[in-house]
Amino acid sequence: MKPSDATMFMPPGASTVAAEVDLLYYFIYWVSVFFFIVITVGTLWFAIRYRRKPGETSRLTPGITHHLGLEVFWTVIPTILMFVIFVWGFRSFMHLMVIPGNAMEIKVDAKQWDWYFKYNEGIVSPNKLVVPVGKPIKLLMKSRDVIHSFYIPDYRVKWDVVPNRYSSLWFEALEPGEHDIFCTEFCGNDHSRMIARVHALTPEAYARWLKEAGGIRKGETCEEFGKRLYVENGCNACHTVDGSPSVGPSWKGIWGSLGKLADGSTVKVDENYIRESILEPEKKIVKGYKPQMSSFAGLLDDEAIGCLIEFIKAQGATSGGDGDE
């Protein structure tokens, strides 16, 4: 099977199911075009041929009740066409739905507004899905907040990603290459920016990638690892490290300070508070901020949380602050 170029209504086809999806699509398309022309031309022809001519006062149409041959003709033909489309579509749908037994599983976590791809080898890859070509890939997907929809146009696969339950889809990439992944369910502010990429690699290149991405720490110190987590998990979208205000409190000098909470109480910013804030962010909201962070439970393990804490410590500490601005 060969990848296909983009056509008038379809992007390039780069997966094993693309050709059959396109074929059925264009079959339905051209059948529709054919009948559109037949019906439009027929209507125009009748309208012109049987219009009331100038000077004509009464020319009644004879009372035709029915024409058996014609009625059978225009009932049987569309019925056959519908059955062809149904059987063909159902077979393709089953092909798209039934995940091959030898498929390799990758877990997908969706949250506003990122995709996380989790590999059995322990790798978590944000917004970059790396797969080997020539192997069926099963995505086991769930959402951490609202309904998203996972869509790779070039692979012709799309499925909803829903909170509190798993959904799945599968595909097999034909050739090495990069393709867009879109969220195709309106999911809030940055829905349109919830874009990721799928990188299809040769099996050799994939093995190399696994190895490189594999060791979670990649030889970094705990603080360096924490810094990478800060970027890769998008902490930096809401928490600055230079003291400037953002969606969430800046991490500059936060360590050891006494933070004022929305309910009026204070809390010391220590290991337990940060750990709790990562896992159950809505529990203690800092005064002046909104509870908009989603939990990282299941995404960050103890080692990762420990190293994020190291990174936060490295942003400077306040000792014995009273929490008042």
CB-wise, 65 or 189, nearer to ligand CUA?
189
Near ligand CUA by CB under 6 A: residue from 16, 21, 185, 206: 185
Query: What are 150's strand-pairing partners?
Result: 159, 183
Site string for ligand CUA, 202-241 (x = CB under 6 A): ----------------------------------------
Where residue 202 falls (left for φ over 0; alpha for ψ -120 to 50; beta otherwise) is beta
> Quick one: 148 or 313, whose CB is closer to ligand CUA?
148
Least Å distance, CB 180 to ligand CUA, is: 14
Which C-beta is closer to ligand CUA: that of 188 or that of 203? 188
DSSP assignment string, 160-208: EE-BTS-EEEEE-BSSSEEEEEEE-S--STTGGG-EEEEEEE-HHHHHH
b/e map of 274-296 (b: 16 or more CB within 10 Å)?
bbebbeebeebbbeebeeebebb
Q: Which is nearer to ligand CUA, 144 or 156 (CB)?
A: 144
- The residue range among 21-29, 187-195, 249-257, 268-276 that interacts with ligand CUA, by the rule CB under 6 A, is 187-195
Nearer to ligand CUA, 205 or 237 (CB): 237
From the CB of 84, what's the least distance to ligand CUA, in Å? 35
Q: How many residues bind ligand CUA (CB under 6 A)?
A: 8
- Helix (H), strand (E), coil (C) string for 206-220: HHHHHHHHHCCCCCC
What is the closest distance, in whole angstroms, from the C-beta atom of residue 191 to ligand CUA in the complex?
4
Tally of CB atoms within 10 A around 69: 8
3-class secondary structure, 156: coil
SS3 158: strand
Phi and psi angles of residue 5, each rounded to the nearest 5 degrees, phi first: -80, 165
- CB count within 10 Å of CB 179 equals 19
Nearer CB in complex with ligand CUA: 145/223: 145
- The backbone region for 249, taken as left when phi is positive above 0, alpha when psi lies in -120 to 50, beta otherwise, is beta
Structure tokens at 183: 């969220």
CA 109 to chain centre: 9
| Contact string (CB under 6 A) for ligand CUA, positions 144-183, x = contact | ----x----------------------------------x
Select 196 or 300, whichever has its Cβ closest to ligand CUA: 196
C-beta of 194: minimal distance to ligand CUA in Å?
Answer: 4
Shortest CB 149 distance to ligand CUA, Å: 7
Candidates 36-44, 131-139, 185-193, 278-286 — which segment interacts with ligand CUA by CB under 6 A?
A: 185-193
Q: Does 187 bind ligand CUA (CB under 6 A)?
A: yes
Window of 61-69, 186-194, 202-210, 265-273 that interacts with ligand CUA by CB under 6 A = 186-194
Compare residues 299 and 308 and give the one whose CB is closer to ligand CUA.
Answer: 299
Q: How far apart are CA 69 and CA 119, in angstroms?
A: 63
Residue linked to tokens 């190895």? 211
Contact 222, 306 (CB under 8 A): yes
What residues make contact with ligand CUA under the rule CB under 6 A?
113, 148, 183, 185-187, 191, 194
